[in-house]
Structure 1
Amino acid sequence: MRVATWNVNSVAARLPRLLDWLAKTAPDVVCLQ
């Protein structure tokens, strides 16, 4: 099981980067803080 956490300030500005990262890493669980 792969768990990923991402600390984001202003999600809207970083959403493309986040989606690209999620596509590459393919985690089972994502925690956004």
Structure 2
Amino acid sequence: MTYSMFIHCLLMGLVKLSQLCNVYGYFIVT
């Protein structure tokens, strides 16, 4: 795995994680 691939995977993971947090936050608020 190259360095740029690693960074790309890391960013994708962060995006998915933040989306997941938004979903959980939405369920907690409602």
TM range (shorter): 0.3 to 0.5
**By percentage of residues, which structure has more strand?**
1
**By percentage of residues, which structure has more helix?**
2
Bigger RCO of structures 1 and 2 (CA < 8 A, at least 6 apart): 1
TM-score for the superposition, normalised by structure 2 = 0.42
Q: Which has the larger radius of gyration?
A: 2
TM-score for the superposition, normalised by structure 1 = 0.39
